[in-house]
Amino acid sequence: MKKILFCLLIVSLVCIPWTAMAGKAVKIEVLYMNHGPLQDSLDQIKNVFSKYKEKITVSWYDFDSKEGERFMAQKKITQHIPLLIWMDNQVKFKVDGRDIVFAGFPTGSGPAFFQGKWTMADLQKALDQLTGKK
């Protein structure tokens, strides 16, 4: 009887952390400007996020709202930026050997001086890494 209880205890101690880690959703926070030029990019981002369902939780903060102002103060953001994405409280990610910050418009969209050096494929690859999705 003691051996059975001991075995159950060991199995529980090993399995519980795995199930807890498997259920933890990646926290996504998006600071964005709700302006016309960014709408297409926001739709594309939402489309990418939709592929991860329960693996992520997304919070959206409009740059021009009171909630957005509080969020920027909390994150110590003082510059004018159309878009910035945090994933698990990080802004810099290694994707295909490159350091990427998901800031500004994606490459090829919006005004050239506000374009970041990232694509929707980069965003999806970063999310794949964070969520363990293959």
Using pLDDT thresholds of 50, 70 and 90, give the confidence band for residue 120: very high
Average pLDDT value for residue range 107-119:
77
pLDDT of residue 107: 75
Closest C-alpha to 68, from 30, 105, 104: 30
Determine the Cα–Cα distance for residues 133 and 48; give it in Å rounded to an integer: 13
State the residue for tokens 């101690």. Answer: 13
Instruction: Kindly report the CATH class assigned to 25-131.
Output: alpha beta
Closest C-alpha to 93, from 43, 33, 48, 28: 28
pTM metric for this prediction: 0.79
* 39-62 pLDDT tens trace: 999 999 999 999 999 999 999 999
Question: SS3 helix, strand, coil % of the chain, rounded to 5?
Answer: 50, 25, 30
* 20-31 pLDDT tens trace: 445 689 999 999
Determine the Cα–Cα distance for residues 52 and 44; give it in Å rounded to an integer: 14
Average pLDDT value for residue range 113-133:
90
State the residue for tokens 């990427």. Answer: 100
Tokens, residue 124: 């999806």
